Structure 1
Amino acid sequence: MKHLLTGLGIGLAFLIGWFLFLSLESSDTLPEVDPDEVRTFKGTQLPQVVRPVDLSGPFDFAGEPLPMDDFDVRERLDMELLRNAYFHRNTLLMLKRRARFFPTIERILTEEGVPTDLKYLAVAESGLDNASSPAGAKGVWQFMAPTGKSYGLEINGEVDERYHLEKATRAACKYLKDYHREFGDWRWVAAAYNMGGPNVRKWRERQNAENLFELDINKETMAYVFRIVALKTILEDPESFGYYVGPDDVYPVLDDYKTIKVTKSIDNLGDFAAVQGTDYRKLKIYNPWLVAGSLPISSGNSYEIRIPN
């Protein structure tokens, strides 16, 4: 029994010493938190360093500043910056898509005399995707059908030019400039694009708001301009938010095609694609405004269709 107790004592002492050694080794090797560098921490449950976003600014939209001395403005922008900075999948997709969409959008905005910051409105609306909302808004610019038609877009069962990037962007420019002539401030224009000009006018007058940031309305519009500014901030400097997307990671520009003018109805777009040396899927990718399997064309009318090379 004496020998047994002695063995147990030695074993216990050994275990205590071993645990002390491990704790000292862990404390000696655990690095201090460097605020300028993200490190992988040994022995932590979740190897990450999460920090607040730098709000020192300045922040602006289309050259018009956000009043960052207002605590409410700071907190609302902070919320949208955090929401999008840590929305990894969505933010990565936008970074990949911008190479495909931004050159065309920026060119048309410049030609139409609209600040290029308005491209971030399209980012906020659709994530640079030919999306369709539950309410029926469609395309990168998320036009509702009546608004799209009023700005010259063809929308029917076979053709929906809300999905035509160039034409939809031209229509968006006209729409935005109409609002700017009324409101004279691109921040108000963004709010009007989100909730409609009549609603903006109603709430501005009812609440006697001198600027957009004094409005207290629905959460979606209250956050809208801040979301646009947050997306602009992240997409213009993604590396500072921990996003690294190389030139080989982005989605390529769809600029390798030929354009043919079609003046006669196409009964089957699949057959048409095969004759043109492509397939139905690629035809739809290059011409997303073709929303049916056929294309009826009335006398005297025509369409330009892109055929991938």
Structure 2
Amino acid sequence: MERFKKIAFTLALLGCSSFLIYSTVNETKLVPKREVVSLPSAIDFAGEKTPLHVADVRERFDREMIINTNLHSTTTLILKRANRTFPIIEPILKKYDIPDDFKYLAVIESGLANVVSPSGARGVWQFMPETAKEKGMEVNDFVDERYHLEKSTEAACKYLIEAKNKFGSWTLAAAAYNGGMGGINKQITNQQVNDYYDLLLTEETSRYVFRILALKEIMKNPVKYGFDLPKESLYHPIEVKKITVDSTITDLASFAKTQGINYKILKIHNPWLRDKSLTNKIKKEYVLEIPVEGY
């Protein structure tokens, strides 16, 4: 009996070993090895050169490149969304003479989605309520224009122009979008330097511009970094018609039906509508987007 037990144990051990070897081999086949990609020899933000010859600058950029090239699902979604979102953001940046590189700021703020931060910032450009109102956006229980891509992009442009005028640098203007103009100004005064790459800042702000640079590099050269997406897989712009309303809409679901769509589709294309109705006592004009094909 003891002999049979030993034989059974040996067979079980061999079976487990074979299973582990089989699993390891198949896992290796399923998860492709990611190659280490060398950093570009030079990069800039809004025409302002990044000093990659400085050791800590190069290493901070390297960190963000490693993180974002390996965040495969997140970066893939960003590339898909950008095909629909960038055509809306780019002309607004151009209208305000803001460098095109700032579209990548929107990328790192929200992944080009209408997200909500733990602190209460909302929308693609991640505005807090007070700052949004200061920049001319309506924020209340019925309307929150932080979710309005065009209007929030214009508000971001106004903030960035103000920051650029204050600091004289687009790189510092970008940093101020994260750290606040007051916070950046305080550190410039305390540390007696006025270059982003020379400042010792909080962890989040010290990474901020490097995250922008990393996404810029990856999104401009996706195939180089392992993101070879077929054109048909990207999220394409949806054709819409724009209608103006200047009165209260008591039931948005019923209103949506009159436009040949449903409530869900109305909210998807007009995420700034925050309630089931639209109260409009002052007859303000609102522009709603209605998809032409009904989706």
TM-score bracket relative to the smaller structure: 0.7 to 0.9
Distance in 1 between residues matched to 2:147 and 2:54, nearest whole Å: 39
- Deviation of 1:192 after TM superposition, in Å, equals 0.3
Distance in 1 between residues matched to 2:131 and 2:198, nearest whole Å: 28
> 1:53 touches 1:78 (CA, 8 Å); kept in 2?
no
Residue matched to 1:293? 276
Please state if 1:202 is matched with 2:161.
no
- 1:140-289 residue pairs with structure 2 within 5 A? 140-254=124-238, 256-289=239-272
Please state if 1:60 is matched with 2:44.
yes
- For 1:46, give the aligned amino acid: T
- Deviation of 1:276 after TM superposition, in Å, equals 1.4
> 1:76-134: CA deviations, max 9, x gaps?
00000000000011000000000110011001101111000000000010000011111
- 1:110-125 residue pairs with structure 2 within 5 A? 110-125=94-109
- 1:5-44 residue pairs with structure 2 within 5 A? none
* TM-score (normalised: structure 2): 0.87
| Counterpart pick for 2:28 among 36, 42, 46 | 46
Tell me whether 121-130 or 207-216 shows the greater mean CA deviation.
207-216
Distance in 2 between residues matched to 1:274 and 1:201, nearest whole Å: 52
> 1:234-271: CA deviations, max 9, x gaps?
001100011111111111213x2222211221111001
Distance in 1 between residues matched to 2:291 and 2:99, nearest whole Å: 31
Distance in 1 between residues matched to 2:254 and 2:286, nearest whole Å: 17
Distance in 1 between residues matched to 2:39 and 2:252, nearest whole Å: 52
* Identical positions, percent: 45
The gaps in structure 1 that reach 5 residues or longer are 1-41
> 2:247 touches 2:283 (CA, 8 Å); kept in 1?
no
Distance in 1 between residues matched to 2:249 and 2:68, nearest whole Å: 44
Which runs of structure 1 show a deviation greater than 6 angstroms over 4 or more consecutive aligned residues?
Answer: none
Residue matched to 2:122? 138
The gaps in structure 2 that reach 5 residues or longer are 1-23
- Deviation of 1:210 after TM superposition, in Å, equals 3.5
Distance in 2 between residues matched to 1:210 and 1:107, nearest whole Å: 30
> 1:131 touches 1:138 (CA, 8 Å); kept in 2?
yes
Please state if 1:307 is matched with 2:290.
yes
Name the SS for the 1:205 alignment partner.
Answer: helix
Distance in 1 between residues matched to 2:134 and 2:256, nearest whole Å: 32
- Deviation of 1:44 after TM superposition, in Å, equals 8.6
Name the SS for the 2:61 alignment partner.
Answer: helix
> 1:180-221: CA deviations, max 9, x gaps?
001111110111000100000111111222411122221110
Tell me whether 202-211 or 136-145 shows the greater mean CA deviation.
202-211
Distance in 1 between residues matched to 2:115 and 2:27, nearest whole Å: 38
- For 2:68, give the aligned amino acid: N
Distance in 2 between residues matched to 1:104 and 1:156, nearest whole Å: 24
Residue matched to 1:8? none
- Deviation of 1:275 after TM superposition, in Å, equals 1.5
Distance in 1 between residues matched to 2:78 and 2:52, nearest whole Å: 26
Name the SS for the 1:46 alignment partner.
Answer: helix
Name the SS for the 2:130 alignment partner.
Answer: helix
The structure that is helix-richer by fraction is 2
Q: Which is higher, the Rg of structure 1 or of structure 2?
A: 1
Residue matched to 1:31? none
Name the SS for the 2:288 alignment partner.
Answer: strand
Distance in 2 between residues matched to 1:173 and 1:300, nearest whole Å: 28
Distance in 1 between residues matched to 2:109 and 2:74, nearest whole Å: 13
Distance in 2 between residues matched to 1:43 and 1:162, nearest whole Å: 49
Distance in 1 between residues matched to 2:25 and 2:242, nearest whole Å: 59
Report the number of matched residues. Answer: 267
Residue matched to 1:23? none
Residue matched to 1:4? none
